[in-house]
Every structure is written in C-alpha cells, then in structure tokens.
Amino acid sequence: MRLQPYQAFEVEGDFEILASRKVVREVTNGITIDSSVVTADGDGKKILKKGYPVGKLANGKYGPYDSTKSNGQESPSVLIKETIDVTAGDHIVGGYEVAKVYADRLPVTVDATLKGKMPQIVFA
C-alpha cells in the first residue's frame, strides 16, 4: 500500500519558478499590465508567461521586458506570478519584487544584462 502523495497530472504552465521561499517579497495589490505594449503572437493573442520580467511605464502600468525600448520596459523590476492573456485589455497580476528563481524556467533568456537590471532577483 502506497501512502505517499503523488502528482496524478501536471497542468501546463503550473511549474514552480521560485528556487527558495525564504526571502520573497511580493508586489502589494498587484500590478497592471498595459496591453497596448504587449506584442501579439501568431494567433493574435497577447500572452505573458509566468516569470516574465516587466518594467514600469510612465503611465504607472507595466510592460514586458525589452532591452531595445526606452519607455520603462528596458528596466524590469518585477517577475509576474502567473501566465496572463491581455488580448482583451489591461490585466492586474501579482508579482515578485525580491526572490530567488530558477533561471532556466523563465520565459526569457537570462543574461548578464538582465541580472544587472534586477539586483533584487537571484537567478539560480
């Protein structure tokens, strides 16, 4: 008889990005993602995946990290906590300001530039 719990199935996108829960600071009251700065994919959907870095824009909303921009998106400060679809408009989501995360589980390439711009996030 097996008494240990086991995972019967895995939901796509429901993976853990946190490498440690010892030092985590979440955004209070969430952040608003500005749908107008999110690029649509081939199907016309504007989706940001869990763990995507976002930067604060001049209007107070957040946009996905893009090092080529100069509107705030080039300076990420938060990793979003869940996958969201902003096709229909702006969306409020939770995020991590301080955390230790698995770099290989994030939907972006973690390089020295991103690490330098997010000193409160430890990439494992």
Task: Give residue-wise pLDDT tens across range 40-53.
Answer: 999 999 999 999 99
- Give per-residue pLDDT as tens, 50-100: 999 999 999 999 999 999 999 999 999 999 999 999 999 999 999 999 999
Which of the four pLDDT bands, split at 50, 70 and 90, describes residue 18? very high
Query: Torsions phi, psi of 77, nearest 5?
Result: -135, -10
In the beta sheet, which residues pair with residue 26?
Answer: 96
The alpha carbon of residue 46 and the mean position of all alpha carbons in its chain are separated, in whole angstroms, by: 14
Answer whether residue 13 shows pLDDT above 90. no
The total number of residues shown for the chain amounts to 124
User: Which residues are registered as beta bridge partners of 98?
Assistant: 25
The token pair at 48 is 């940001």
pTM of the model: 0.86
What pLDDT is attached to residue 15? 81
Cβ pair 84, 30 in contact under 8 A: no
